[in-house]
Amino acid sequence: MMKHIFNKGKDPKKPTLLLLHGTGGNELDLLPLAGRVDDEASVLSVRGNISENGMPRFFKRLAEGVFDEEDLVYRTEELNQFLDDAAQEYDFDRDNIIAIGYSNGANIAASLLFHYQNTLKGAILHHPMVPRRGIKLPDLSGKSVFIAAGTNDPICSAVESTELQTLLEKANAKVDIHWEDRGHQLTPTEVAAASKWYSTLDLNE
């Protein structure tokens, strides 16, 4: 089992928000974001199982921006299985999960979309990278994805953000990208944009 927090929401029909922190973060980091996006939804916030010099992460990397692909695939499968188990344990709808990830957490959320057709209904990805190249993505029809990117992000270039958008759209996902004239930090304005995007989703589909 992965270390996590589950907070049952007021409205069981709402999606469960899956929170995935950045490198060195933990399961408490993104709780305020969930409140901004949907304060009635259930929240499942997970801590990464990898420790890099004491900093929690969701998968190993070989260097900054260079993923350990083998570990990424393994950890993505592990997280997918954890979601199956958590849905049973906490009695939420397994088919109605929307991920909110930042940086390393956004990368593992994107990896879930790249590898599993039905693991997420949608995702809010703050400063994600392309998790893997050269693989065929599942059909992501009906999935909605919001990407928040920085034009001056030193870790994740604007080209990378656009490439991720293109790959997801080619797999039939509906993708909106929000640009900040900033770097890799998570800004209040991009959180507000994500919240506004979420409010436009038809959550009864």
**What whole-number distance in Å separates Cα of residue 168 and Cα of residue 67?**
19
Helix (H) or strand (E) holding 20: strand 16-20
pLDDT tens digits along 105-164: 999 999 999 999 999 999 999 999 999 999 999 999 999 999 999 999 999 999 999 999
Whether residue 205 is contained in a domain is answered as no
| Catalytically annotated residues | 103, 153, 184
State which residues form the domain around 130. 4-200
The answer to whether residues 31 and 108 touch, using CB atoms and an 8 Å cutoff, is: no
- Look up residue 99 and give its amino acid: A
Within-domain flag for 37 = yes
Overall number of domains in the chain: 1
| This prediction's pTM | 0.97
State how far the Cα of 93 lies from the Cα of 23, in Å rounded to an integer.
Answer: 28
Q: Find the CATH number of the domain harbouring 86.
A: 3.40.50.1820
Q: What is the CA radius of gyration of the chain?
A: 15
In angstroms, the CA 46 to CA 34 distance is 13
* Residue 189 falls inside a structural domain: yes
